[in-house]
Amino acid sequence: MRTGLLALLLVISGCASIDLEPLPEGLTDEQPESWDQHQETLNRLDQWRLSGKLAVRQPSDSGTAIVNHWKQNGGRYDIALSSSFLGMGSTRLQGTPDFIELTMPGGDRYQSGDPEALVEAATGWLLPLGNLSRWIKGLPGSEGSYRLLFDDQGQLALIRQQGWEIRYDRWENFIDGMPPLPARLTAVKGEKRVRLVISDWQATGSTQR
């Protein structure tokens, strides 16, 4: 089951360097006055599409992939990944927080009610799919307690949740009418690191309710 993608990971492992930058001093857990409104605005952004690059580093293996698209429609996601080496195949993840269909480079398909366990079994990568669609917007996930830390400008710098530490390294104004969205974030859990660099982000539905 893992043969095709593991071979790919061995080829691209040298490209998956994830060097963590030192955390800035002076972080605080005191939320800025605008935080509630900020969350409300981002909660309305529940239909979107982005592209970029994903890098995973962990003791067992490492690798990088191009995010050809990540389409989010409410709780449903459609993520298409491919190697940065042309012709090496692609992987597609489609589902909801409670169900996933994983299509491997050779076309084999697998389904599970435990998305994170299936992705780890098939690829060796631990991806926090349950909360990632909210972390990627700069919001705490809906599963589990959390702690937020802000910098001296009132910008979210860090989320700690479910054993993960999500560090926000860069923000950009991708979508008109929306606050800045993460352009680079790194999720860390022990020796496991997942970095997402976003090159383009678009709203695909109305953000008004």
CA–CA separation, 129 and 126 (whole Å): 9
Place of tokens 């398909």: 109
DSSP state of 7: H
CB 74 within 8 A of CB 97: no
Query: In this prediction, what percent of the chain has a pLDDT beyond 90?
Result: 64
Q: Is this prediction's pTM over 0.85? A: no
Tell me the pLDDT band of 208, cut-offs 50, 70 and 90: very low
CA–CA separation, 176 and 12 (whole Å): 36
33-83 pLDDT, tens digit each? 999 999 999 999 999 999 999 998 888 777 888 999 999 999 999 999 997
Whole-number pLDDT of residue 3:
42
Helices and strands (H, E) in the chain, number of each type? 4, 11
Whole-number pLDDT of residue 12:
36
CA–CA separation, 55 and 195 (whole Å): 5
CB 17 within 8 A of CB 92: no
CB 27 within 8 A of CB 42: no
**Angle between the N-to-C axes of helices 115-123 and 3-12, in degrees from 0 to 180, rounded to the nearest 10:** 70
Mean predicted confidence (pLDDT) in 93-111 = 92
For the cut 90, the answer to whether the pLDDT of residue 182 exceeds it is yes
CA–CA separation, 173 and 26 (whole Å): 24
Q: How many residues are given for the chain? A: 209
Place of tokens 């079994």: 121
117-167 pLDDT, tens digit each? 998 888 778 888 889 999 999 999 988 899 999 999 999 999 999 999 999
The CATH code for residues 3-15+26-203 is 2.50.20.10
